[in-house]
Amino acid sequence: MYEIAALEMEDYPLAREDLVLQDLGTELMLYDPKNDSAHVLNHTAVVIFKLCDGKHRLEDITSEVKDKFKMNEGYDLSRDIINFLGEFKTKGLLRVSQ
């Protein structure tokens, strides 16, 4: 087990440029050549990951996902996004700047 990297709403996530992306229809596969590992993202995760361009803050990403998908009132989407991207940061798939 590993500890998930901490992220803040003001952070600007940026996906590594060397990741190989393969469209699987409703999902996206990320291949990490550095670690020889693959990760399959569902539709929601794809939307989040594609916003990891270094131009969107976590706050912006959360807002765009809320606008795109219907969420239950009171659902803490930001926590889920922080956990998802924190896990990817821990795995070395993205970095963040402020």
Query: What tens digit of pLDDT does each residue of 3-24 get?
Result: 667 788 888 999 999 999 999 9
Tell whether 23 is covered by a domain. yes
Residue-averaged pLDDT of the chain? 90
Residue 4: inside a domain, yes or no?
no
Phi, psi dihedral angles at 71 (to 5 degrees): -115, 150
Answer with the residue of higher pLDDT: 53 or 96. Answer: 53
Q: CATH code at 32?
A: 3.90.930.60
Domain-located, residue 48:
yes
Asked whether residue 68 is assigned to any structural domain, the reply reads yes
**For 47-62, how does the pLDDT look when each residue is reduced to its tens digit (9 = 90+)?**
999 999 999 999 999 9
Cα dihedral 84/54/7/95 (nearest 10): 80
Longest dimension (CA), the chain: 40
For residues 17 and 28, give the distance between their C-alpha atoms in angstroms, rounded to a whole number. Answer: 16
Q: What is the distance between the alpha carbons of residues 71 and 16, in angstroms, rounded to a whole number?
A: 29
Own/partner pairs, 60-69, CB within 8 angstroms, 24+ separation = 61/13, 61/85, 62/9, 69/44
Is residue 21 included in any domain, yes or no? yes
Q: For 26-36, how does the pLDDT look when each residue is reduced to its tens digit (9 = 90+)?
A: 899 999 999 99
Residue 71's pLDDT band (cuts 50, 70, 90): confident
Structural domain boundaries enclosing 78: 12-97
Q: Strand locations in the chain, DSSP E?
A: 12-15, 20-23, 28-32, 37-41, 94-97
Which pLDDT value is given to residue 91?
92
Q: Is residue 67 part of a domain?
A: yes
Give the rounded percent of residues in the chain with a pLDDT score beyond 90. 66
| pLDDT at site 70 | 80
DSSP 80: H
